[in-house]
Amino acid sequence: MHIFFRFRHTASGLYKRRLHYTLQERFAGTAIHLANCSFLNGDSYAQTLLNQHETKVTELDNGFKVASEYSDPPSATVGLWIDAGSRYETPATNGVANFFEHIAFKGTNNRTQKDLENEVTNIGTQIHSHTDREETAFYARCLPKDINKAVDILADAINNTKLDEHQIEEEISVILKKLTESESDLRLVTFDYLHLTAYQGTPLSQSVLGPTENIKKITKEDIKYYVRNNFVAPRMTLVGCGDFKHDELVKLAEKYFSSVPNTYTSEIPVLKPCRYTGSEIRDRDDWLPFSHVAIAIDTSGHN
């Protein structure tokens, strides 16, 4: 057995180190019984040695992607990942991506907020979501037999969000309060400062929550424009992991996402390179009991 380190690169300049173990294929004087190994059911020999199932990927005609991996436990996770986040915003629209995440499950053209809550509760599903600088995700944890319903709910919430004016006003108040509370989250503040200085002058320097002045004036049209020009099929992927077949997830994607447009209402957005700037920023507060420090290092990408 030998051990090696793998570094995974993200454009935001943050790196995660994973420790992997790989087994030597030859064991002197040892016979290996593989009668019940998963590679006999379609997984490769290497995947079997790593105790990993194959990740299957399918692309629909409109560019929408489906990815799944079989998992033994009697549960499943299915979700929608979109290449959309604060990096895709302008200084004037910074905060819209996070705002949409907050309001997506407030009701659709087909279901009220109460209907959504009841359906989620009835099948024992947990709905989660998050917005980052380079992605937005909505996902559900459920039983494998309920992935049809889970995908139905996710698709309706994302594709048919009602965007009620009254709820938008309420959410503005909620996010403004969250912005105030975030000032005491020193870990979040530290990483915002890190991006602000390391990627100064580029979209990656923008915070996920956005500035207060932007949140106060967000409108229904701002949200609709952002979603229409970022939630396009080639930038969306339905991902699932659990005890179900890949073809089943593909059929659900065809049912709920084949009509998602693959064109933009305006010019195709082009992401400008987010240059890294070696620099330093300090925010001194002698009343704090601890120091919070973050260091970013510019290296080559994974690809």
Query: Which residues form the catalytic set?
Result: 101
Report the distance separating Cα 282 and Cα 291, nearest Å.
11
* Cα angle for residues 246, 143, 238 (degrees, 5° grid): 40
DSSP code of residue 108: B
Report the distance separating Cα 131 and Cα 99, nearest Å.
9
* Cα angle for residues 238, 242, 247 (degrees, 5° grid): 55
Report the distance separating Cα 221 and Cα 224, nearest Å.
5
Contact 137, 80 (CB under 8 A): yes
The residues near 227 (Cβ < 8 Å, ≥ 6 apart) are 100, 161
Q: In DSSP terms, which residues pair with 127 in a beta bridge? A: 140
> Could you write out the DSSP letters of every residue in 187-239?
HHHHHHHHHHHHTTTSGGGS-SS--HHHHHT--HHHHHHHHHHH--GGGEEEE
Give the number of residues written for the chain: 303
Tokens 């409109």 sit on residue = 62
Longest CA–CA span in the chain (Å) reads 73
How many alpha carbons lie under 13 Å from residue 35 in its C-beta half-sphere? Answer: 2
